[in-house]
Amino acid sequence: MHCQDLNKQPKKTLKNKLLFWGSVALIIGGGYIYMSLPEDPRRVSISIELPAETEALPYEVRYRSSICKNKYRDGDFNARYEDDRRYVEVIPKKQGGSNIYKETISVDDGGYCKWKLSNIIIGFQYKKNSSILNNIEENTPVKVKFVFDDYASATSNRQPKEEYNDFIVQKNYYPLKKEFIDNNRKSIVSIKGEQNSLTYQLYIPNEIVYKPILHTNKMVTVIEPANREDKFKIIYPDGTITDVDSAYPLDFEKIINMR
């Protein structure tokens, strides 16, 4: 079954569409998308409390439809069908003069396809003008994924942590600077935690609060060797140096216990 391409509806129908109770018209790229939202759509509030010198990433919101299908060919060129998916990018709004950014997302997004919220990815990174970057151009963010349907295994290679109702995510993070002996390669600053890929399987939440704790004063420097057979050099915040075969995982227990 194919989903009707709503973008191709003629513009002259806009006036009539707006007369229907409960209908919403969105204008995207000059075309119209019509969605009949549920009478009382369930929503989830997601906020992030930003550490100093950081900025929130746009929320990556994905919906799934079991009504509308995508057609594709498998390895034997047989026709296959899978649930259609839709991606929406949402910019969270700053809450007054605080460091909190928040947005409310529809769980049931309606429309002909009866879109259901599948997952949301949120995150943060250092601002370009932050003191820790110090002319470093590449800045890798940290992200957290919240899964609302039964497709957690398809979106993550880790077993998701299950959470019921409203909850707060509070994790510690540390800046990591990666340098290269090869002067032609530029340094990279990223944000690392004990688990770099957090995924949560959610059941009926109304509010999610993400409170990352960023220890900017505990930066770890990793120097990548010029040759593969050589070792990585890790410089911890207290000045100790360790030579290892692989830069990851870092010794987070050592970092946490440093004053």
Spell out the residues 6+ positions from residue 142 whose beta carbon is closer than 8 angstroms to its own: 123, 124, 125, 173, 190, 191, 192, 193, 196, 212
Residue 201, judged by CB atoms within 10 A of its CB (0-12, 13-18, 19+), counts as: buried
The C-alpha atoms of residue 48 and residue 92 are separated, in whole angstroms, by 9
**By percentage, how much of the chain surpasses pLDDT 90?**
43
Tokens 């919403």 belong to which residue? 24
Q: Please check whether residue 173 is in contact with residue 193, taking contact to mean a CB–CB distance below 8 angstroms.
A: yes
CB atoms within 10 A of CB 6: 15
Q: Are residues 165 and 120 in the same domain?
A: yes
Is residue 91 predicted with pLDDT exceeding 90? yes
Q: Which of 2-11, 90-99, 102-111, 248-257 has the highest mean pLDDT?
A: 90-99
Strand partners, 49: 100
Mean of all residue pLDDT scores within the chain: 81
Distances (CA, A) of 21 to 28, 35, 156: 21, 11, 39
Number of helices (H), then strands (E), in the chain: 3, 22
Same domain, 3 and 51: no
**107 vs 122: CA distance, rounded Å:** 16
Residue 35 CB coordination number (10 Å) = 17
The tally of domains found in the chain comes to 2
Same domain, 112 and 72: yes
| Per-residue tokens: 77 | 């060129």
Q: How confident is the model at residue 183 (pLDDT cuts 50, 70, 90)?
A: confident
DSSP 15-54: HHHTTSTTEEEEEETTEEEEEE--SS--EEEEEEEPPTTE
Q: Is 75 left (phi over 0), alpha (psi -120 to 50) or beta?
A: alpha
Selected residue with higher pLDDT from 154 and 194: 194
Residues 9 and 91 in one domain: no
Segment 143-172, tens digit of pLDDT: 999 999 887 655 555 677 788 778 899 999
Q: What is the 8-class DSSP label of residue 3?
A: P
- Indicate if 43 and 30 belong to the same structural domain: no
pLDDT tens digits for range 98-138:
999 999 999 987 788 888 999 999 999 999 889 888 878 78
Q: Tokens standing for 55?
A: 């900025």
Whether residue 7 is found in the same domain as residue 121:
no
Q: What confidence category does residue 21 fall into, taking pLDDT thresholds of 50, 70 and 90?
A: very low
Cα gap 205→216, rounded to integer Å: 31
Q: Is the pLDDT reported for residue 22 higher than 70?
A: no
Q: How many CB atoms lie within 10 A of CB 50?
A: 20
If you average pLDDT over residues 51-76, what whole number do you get? Answer: 88
pLDDT in tens, 221-236: 999 888 888 899 999 9
Query: Do both 79 and 9 map to the same domain?
Result: no
Comparing 34-38, 49-53, 104-108, 199-203, which segment has the lowest mean pLDDT?
A: 34-38
**Residue 256 reports pLDDT greater than 50:** yes
Confidence of residue 37 (pLDDT cuts 50, 70, 90): low
Together in a domain, 14 and 137: no
Could you tell me if 132 and 244 lie in one domain? yes
121 and 6 within one domain: no
Same domain, 111 and 25: no
- Quote the pTM value: 0.77
**Does residue 97 share a domain with residue 181?**
yes
Q: What is the arithmetic mean of pLDDT over 7-36? A: 41
Residue 34 in this model has a pLDDT that exceeds 60: no
pLDDT higher for 184 or 258? Answer: 258
Domain that holds residue 20: 1-36
